[in-house]
Amino acid sequence: MKLSRVLHGLALVVLGFLVYAIAWGSERAQEFKGKIARSYAESEEWWPEPARAPEGAPNVLIVLLDDTGFAHVGSFGGLIETPNIDKLAENGLRFNNFHTTALSSPSRACIMAGRNPHTIGLGSHSLTAMGFPGYNAMIPPTMKSVADVFQENAYTNYALGKWDHTPLYEVSVVGPFDHWPTAEGFDHFYGFMAADCHQFMPVWWTEHTPTEPWIGRDDYHVSTDMADKAIEYVTGHKSVDPERPFFMFWAPGAMHSPHHAPEEYLEKYRGRFDMGWDEARKMIFERQLELGIIPGGTDLTQRTEELPAWDSLSDDERKLYARQMEVFAAQMDHVDMEIGRMIAMLERIGELENTFIMVTSDNGSSGEGGLSGSFNETYVLNGLQTPFDANMEHYDEWGGPETYAHFHAGWALAGNTPFQYFKQIVHRGGIQDPLVIHWPAGIEARGEIRSQYCHITDVAPTLLEVAGLTFLDEIDGIPQVSYDGTSFAYAFDDADAPTQKKVQYYEMFGNRAIWADGWKAVTIHANRMPWNTNVVLPFENDVWELYNTNEDFSEAHDLADEYPEKVEELKALFDELAWEHNVYPLYDDLIMRLSRQQDRLFGDRTEFIYYYPGAVRIAEKASAPVKDKAHTITTTIDLKGDEEGVIVACGAFTGGYSMFIQNHRLYYAYNFYNGVYYTLESPQLPTGPTELKFVFLRTGAFKGTGELYVNGEKVDTVDMPQMHLSTFSLSETFDVGQDTGTPVSELYNDHFHFKGELDKVIFTLD
């Protein structure tokens, strides 16, 4: 009896400690200062003090748009209506000298980490990771997110939307979750773990649980859903604990491809861009000068030579390309409206004045749509350009759920006015973005422009200064490396404050630049444009340019021939910083970097067994590596005659493969870019235990023959002369027993859940 009482007492002590740790955090454990006696009357209660943020600390709302150029926002001269972002600018500040990394993954990692991209392993996109410290997509535990600091200081943190720097092979229900938002300082996550998502039918996560919030909602759009959830989170938060501030990272899929917008927004922009990109650039440039968002005397750069003049296009080309820009504008107008809904909510609950709001983008506008745009963006990911005729077939549905649309690179150039080039390139067109800051309680200036040079790594230290927090030398018992970034809060109320940042390097897929005290040396590796992913050339042949950005805001005048010694000085500085920050080695084979992840993961493994119903929402890069490999897919089912549905599927309506039963027949469908299908079909299936098998026989590089078998008998065959080089989709997944997201095959709709006794599916690589 005495032993049981002791054990019971110990259990209560342990339980009490756990409750205490959960409530207050074990790292905040405080010595009991009350009194414990035999009786309650003789005892004195004492409660530990809960952690609190500094008095008056603001809420923080970061709105990180995607692929939005310097010139897309209305208050930066853009032709798209963005009244809500512009209202924030009118009552806050616009920074016209803010820079990013030229790509999504590294920018999104840097904004949280406060360190340079290669320092934290994100020298490029997580999809192109390599086994080197600067490129492995593994943020070290010594460089934790600024969100961790806010969390340690009693903020509640919310991440919504795009989270794009977790290696995709870690995106599944088993993780590991070390690089998910919940391990980087966020208490809640509601979003997608990929570079993009279908805006009407996204592959979504709530914390670590897959979900598809669009099912049953005909009017669904990602931006609306995200605004709804943000409003729900914040109003709930302030209802429970109004004194506790929040930190929210709101990162919509807009304006990344696919460009999708509700029909009423599409209609609103019909005919608005018939003038073409050349005239649009001139119109934007004049607006920028009038607004003062670019300095007087700035020159409009020449059209990138790889792009055609608008007047040189045929009538059909102008018709299609104008429609592409209409859709992009509609999507941006729509996301601005949703931002406005969140602002209205903050005003309604009395939190707008003391919420630090930052609106910016992760890189310049994207030229990845190439020289005709694309109804299916995965073309460029596999080293291809979309044929104009294939695009034209989708003209009427452009911007709707049937397309995965991207616009012509000419419109990306217009969106980056007055600069040259695009996302991925480290000239200003790829790295200079609009930045709007709104914080009435903390910034006196209204409607002013700031021109101090700042970088996305500077955001984290700025946020700490704004909130009155200090850098933590240790998080979770791990010493922390100091930030590379420099706070730019010094400029909030001092327009004439000199720039405190002195140097910043850039590297993206071999494109390199170094900025130091206004001078910038820059090179485009092999003169490769973003739509040319199959260019592999020596780095020593690259030609460096030189600009004095203090006098030449748009980088219109190359001074390399005039100051060759300055070029060499800056190149030497780049090399020094490159070694310091893990930039080397440089490697430019993008297709290889995109396609090799599965080989690295699985080595010489040849068998993969997936069990039903649990094998769902597995990232494509974490599934059996079948591309360009002879393989078989086998399952055995005790057929009753009424089975139907997907046995296994990988990819999306943009491309992929699916094996399924329909109308008592077995099918295998390979979707090559949502327009070309290789489909095999069996005769009527028997009943009883039945082996169903697909066999791919490789006949050459990325081509082969498909064969379908029922109980060992070949029942159909098809030639497969073209296949994907690297990826089916940036966001959709591998699933057994259903096809989550958009359907791979045009022969079925929605998920097409399997009805029957499905046990497992076996992949064998030959």
Interval 417-435 mean pLDDT:
98
Q: Long-range CB contacts (< 8 A, 24+ apart) of 489-495?
A: 489/462, 489/465, 490/452, 491/95, 491/450, 491/452, 491/454, 492/93, 492/437, 492/439, 492/442, 492/443, 492/445, 492/450, 493/443, 493/444, 493/445, 495/445, 495/448, 495/449, 495/450, 495/451
What pLDDT is recorded for position 22? 36
Is the pLDDT assigned to residue 595 strictly greater than 80? no
Rounded Cα distance, 592 and 606, in Å = 21
List the structure tokens of 162: 């795009």
| pLDDT for position 7 | 42
pLDDT over threshold 50, residue 719: yes
Q: What is the pLDDT of residue 325?
A: 98
Which region among 58-67, 256-265, 467-476, 528-537 has the lowest average model confidence (pLDDT)? 528-537
In this predicted structure, what is the pLDDT of residue 590?
Answer: 84
Taking the C-alpha atoms of residue 558 and residue 254, their distance in angstroms, rounded to an integer, is 34
Q: Is the pLDDT of residue 214 over 80?
A: yes
Question: Stretch 615-641: mean pLDDT, rounded?
Answer: 96
Tell me, yes or no, if the pTM score tops 0.85: yes
Q: What is the pLDDT of residue 28?
A: 53
Q: Which residue has the higher pLDDT, 646 or 7?
A: 646
Domain ranges for the chain: 59-492, 512-593, 598-765
| 581-608 per-residue burial string, b: 16 or more CB within 10 A, e: under 16 | bbbbebbbbbbebbbbbbeeebeeeeeb
Which pLDDT value is given to residue 27?
41
CATH code for the structural domain at 59-492: 3.40.720.10
**pLDDT tens by residue, 663-712:** 999 999 999 986 789 999 999 999 999 999 999 999 999 999 999 999 99
Complete DSSP assignment for 142-170: TS--HHHHHHHTT-EEEEEEE---S-GGG
Task: Tell me: pLDDT of 762 over 70.
Answer: yes
Query: Whole-number mean pLDDT of the chain?
Result: 94
The predicted pLDDT at position 1 comes to: 39
Residue type at position 72: H
User: Other C-beta atoms within 10 Å of 710: how many?
Assistant: 19
Q: What is the rounded average pLDDT of the residues 388-411?
A: 97
Residue pair 512/117 in contact (Cβ under 8 Å)? The answer is no
DSSP state of 292: T
**531 pLDDT above the threshold of 70:** yes
Q: What angle do CA 744, 750, 753 make, to 5 degrees?
A: 95
Query: If DSSP codes are grouped into helix, strand and coil, which group holds residue 737?
Result: coil
Out of 124-133, 181-190, 352-361, 365-374, least confident range: 124-133
Transcribe 696-725 into DSSP letters. EEEEETTEEEEEEEETTEEEEEEEE----S
pLDDT in tens, 501-513: 999 999 999 999 9
Structural tokens at position 258 = 């696919």
What pLDDT is attached to residue 2? 41
The average pLDDT across 422-440 equals: 98
DSSP-assigned letter for residue 35: B
Question: For 235-246, what is the mean pLDDT?
Answer: 97
- Highest mean pLDDT among 1-10, 530-539, 656-665 belongs to 656-665
- pLDDT band, very low/low/confident/very high, at 328 (cuts 50, 70, 90): very high
- Residue 340: which H helix or E strand, with range? helix 315-348
Average confidence (pLDDT) over 422-445: 98
Statement: residue 19 has pLDDT above 50: no
CA distance 88 to 291: 15
The tens digit of pLDDT for each residue in 37-95 reads 999 999 999 999 988 999 999 999 999 999 999 999 999 999 999 999 999 999 999 99
**What mean pLDDT is predicted for residues 319-344?**
98
* CATH architecture label of 598-765: Sandwich (2.60)
| Mean pLDDT, residues 218-224 | 97
Q: Lowest mean pLDDT: which of 9-13, 174-178, 515-519? A: 9-13
| pLDDT for 12 beyond 70 | no
Class level of CATH domain 512-593 = alpha beta
Number of residues that this document lists for the chain:
766
Is pLDDT above 90 for 5?
Answer: no
Percentage of the chain beyond pLDDT 70 is 96
The phi, psi pair for 192, rounded to 5°, reads: -125, 145
Pairing of β 607-611 and β 713-720: unpaired
Per-residue pLDDT averaged across 736-746, rounded? Answer: 96
Percentages helix, strand, coil for the chain (3-state, rounded to 5) are 30, 25, 50
Predicted pLDDT at 383: 83
pLDDT at position 23: 39
Calpha distance 565→544 (Å, rounded): 12
